[in-house]
Copies of this chain bind each other. A is one copy, B any other.
Amino acid sequence: MTQPTINDVARIAGVSKKTVSRVINRSPLLSDATRTKVEQVIAEIGYVPNPQARALALKRNFLVALVHDGSDPQFALAAQEGMLAALHGSEYALVVRPFEAPADAAASLRLFLEQHRPAGVLLLPPLSENVAVAEMCRQIGVPHMRLAASAQTDAGNAFAANEREAAAGAVGYLIALGHRRIGFVAGPDLDAAAQERELGYLDAMADHDLDRGPALIAGGDFSFESGHAAGKLLLEVSPRPTAIFAASDAMAAGVLHAAREQGLTVPADVSIVGFGDTPLAEQLWPPLTTVRLPAGEMAAAAARRLVGPEQDDGPGTFATEFVARASTSPAPA
């Protein structure tokens, strides 16, 4: 029971295949009679155009790709959901492609893009900041959009939130609560988003002339485990920080564990702030104060621009939102 083709439709309807093609593509120059007849036959035999043949003739594929390096799974998941929502109801499908080795990123991504030739690709940080990758996309002619951590790099193909400002705001909130010794758990070294968040922390601390020495900063990689280790480190320092800001929610959860293991109460002994507002944030106890990153919305806008006409989706910058929950409280006296 093989699929009917355009030829079957043409033969049965008694028209040429080009006419059928016109019906499929909603060409305006068609008599109603012909169109109706053809549509009837199409419905009758359950004809669906072959996408491969279409893609070959049109020289374009109905695939959009999401590419990331897996360093922030929840961010990637949010982006994926945003793209799926934007693509919903369209004829485009989403293909997901994580990369483990950002070393030869451009080369392996190129292989993938040439093998599948998606109509467009969305790059997540830190891949989205990789110049070689962007250049490669341009070379092979695959339209690409990027999700970035700051509006600085806007080359017209990026959507971004001002993560630096958002991070500074979160730290400012802690300072307003009376905290003076505030620790920071950083993300991956080479990740632009992680860097922006760290800059925001440093900004806020500098603004208030607070100590931001190395004893207050611990490195992580966005993962829970790394946050756990960093939290242990920071909470051993004396005097102990009264608050810790982590560059991701997962790391904040790790800090929470470290605090609990040392018998500390959150937020009475130490306040904790995350970044991202992933589902985890409100599922922790106490619910995590954090910064909402509109990953889904940005990814949706990017997907629309990739598949849609050359419209303007408005400004390339999205607003973050500070979300105060129960993991923060005034500094202990």
Contacts and interface: CB of A to CB of B under 8 A. Distances in A.
A175 interface: no
Contacts of A141: 1
A24 interface: no
- Give the interface SS of chain A, mostly helix, strand, loop or mixed: helix
B56 A52 contact: yes
A125 to B, nearest CB: 19
Contacts of A132: none
A93 B84 contact: no
A52 B80 CA distance: 24
B84 A96 contact: yes
A117 B283 contact: no
A102 interface: no
A94 interface: yes
A222 interface: no
Interface stretch (A178-186, A194-202, A249-257): A249-257
A190 interface: no
Interface string A89-102: 00101111110000
Interface residues of A, number: 46
A93 to B, nearest CB: 5
Given A224-B279, A283-B284, A284-B284, A115 B48 contact: yes
Interface string A29-57: 00000000000000000001011110110
A285 B56 CA distance: 54
A48 B114 contact: yes
A117 B50 contact: yes
Contacts of A14: none
A53 B51 CA distance: 11
A93 B61 CA distance: 14
Interface string A50-70: 111101100001110100000
A281 to B, nearest CB: 11
A253 B282 CA distance: 10
Contacts of A117: 50-52
A319 B180 CA distance: 51
A53 B50 contact: no
A112 B89 CA distance: 10
A90 B178 CA distance: 55
A257 B285 contact: yes
A285 to B, nearest CB: 5
Contact of A50 (B56, B91, B253): B56
A184 B86 CA distance: 37
17 contacts: A3-B140, A48-B114, A50-B56, A51-B116, A52-B117, A55-B55, A56-B56, A62-B116, A63-B93, A65-B93, A77-B77, A80-B96, A93-B95, A94-B97, A95-B96, A254-B283, A285-B285
- What 10 pairs across the A-B complex have the smallest Cβ distances? A48-B114, A52-B55, A52-B56, A253-B283, A93-B95, A95-B95, A93-B116, A224-B283, A53-B56, A52-B52
